[in-house]
Amino acid sequence: MSKYWRFLVIIQLIVVLIVGLAGSPLAEGTALKIESLSSILLEPESGEVLFQNNADLKLPPASVTKLMVMLLVLEAVDKGQIKLTDTVTASPEACKMGGSQIWLEPGEQMTVTELLKAVCIVSANDASYALGEHLAGSEENFIALMNKRAAELGLKDTHYVNTTGLEPSLGETGNITSARDMACLAREVINHPTVFRWSGIWIDSLRGGKSFLRNTNNLVRFYQGCDGLKTGFTNQAGFCLVATAKRQGVRLVAVVMKAPNTQTRSRDVSKLFNYGFAQYKAYPIYRGGENLGKVTVFRGRQNYVQAIVPQELTAVLKRDFKGEIVRSVKLSPLVKAPVLKGAKIGEVLLSAGGKACGRVDLIADCTVPKASFFELCSQIFHHIIKVGVY
């Protein structure tokens, strides 16, 4: 072979190698230059980890601790145990918290909504403490709830000793967690969309405009689609951030821990998000408002309600996905009147390749009041006539 042809073959091999590397997925932990000590990127629908580096390293979480506070409060609201409109009275203990705070005064009253806003936007330690007391009666009781919920969620590297993430006294042990655990916790928190009422706000206020609030997560202003979730900083923990962003139907969760400064923290999360959004795509499955069947109503003024998809449902998958998306519609066999419009009466689960890739609750299309005795008698009579039994 002549030198000319040999040169041509070498050039072609180089081109093939370059193209092949450009089209292949980035190697986990190597191709992305993340400066934070520990990091992870998660697609929350499937739970697939797209990138990780030292994700199981046990580290202090600082105010990222408050993700668990947020979760427990939101779960209590959804269960009807407390209301967002409940009034919380600040105790002297809550007002002694240092660090980031809204300067609660002993006896000052705020609603659960206002305190959650303070926790989500400015990471207020006094607000977090007050919420814990309101929900569980004391900080000690609330810490027990935090650890119990962590165990239920399988957060094996996580243990809490306070509600704030503040550094412990000399010789004592503080809160501990890992980036992987915090990604799993964030995945649970975003199942309660109420949190986005506050976590994605850049600037707000309390006390009728007298108390200024600016989000400690700069990405909610500077990164398109970022709408949460929680920052943290102490000297021991460094700069931490659990963030989530949504673009074109795809939501991602990114965690970085022990970054050297706020700029690095934001830059690392932005890199993770950019990488994830380049890989994933939302495939439309159902439009909002579609009817997927009917559910029988027991002792209602009408015999059934329609099961409606409340909003667009998409399957979040890799951009090069070529397989089949499996749809599983599960309807309640029977619901008891009264049924409220918008009540959950089923769900749709999406999967591909054996992995979950999307879900949504199905809701009742209308309200069905409970039938009176005479209405029930009339329904029974008409049923007898219809089936031809005399």
Range of weakest confidence among 100-114, 258-272, 360-374:
360-374
Instruction: Give tens-digit pLDDT for 197-232.
Output: 999 999 999 999 999 999 999 999 999 999 999 999
The residues carrying an active-site annotation are 63, 66, 123
pLDDT band at 130 (very low <50, low <70, confident <90, very high): very high
Cα–Cα distances in angstroms (integers) from residue 2 to residues 5, 8, 14, in the given order: 5, 10, 19
Q: How far is CA 96 from the centre of its chain?
A: 30
Cα–Cα distances in angstroms (integers) from residue 117 to residues 198, 214, 276, in the given order: 5, 11, 29
pLDDT band at 383 (very low <50, low <70, confident <90, very high): low
The average confidence (pLDDT) of the chain is 90
| pLDDT at residue 3 is higher than 50 | no
Task: Express as a percent the part of the chain with pLDDT over 90.
Answer: 81
Give the pLDDT score at 384: 72
Range of weakest confidence among 112-121, 168-177, 214-223, 284-293:
168-177
Radius of gyration, alpha carbons of the chain: 26
Rounded Cα–Cα distance for residues 269 and 256 (Å): 7
Report which of 304, 311, 309 is spatially closest to residue 292, judged by C-alpha positions.
309
Q: Which residues are CB-contacts of 211 (< 8 A; sequence separation ≥ 6)?
A: 102, 103, 205
Helical pair 139-152 and 125-136, crossing angle rounded to 10 deg: 90
Give the pLDDT score at 7: 42
Give the pLDDT score at 30: 47
Rounded Cα–Cα distance for residues 378 and 359 (Å): 39
Give the pLDDT score at 59: 98
Give the pLDDT score at 382: 65
- Domains of the chain and any CATH numbers: 38-280 (3.40.710.10), 287-387 (2.60.410.10)
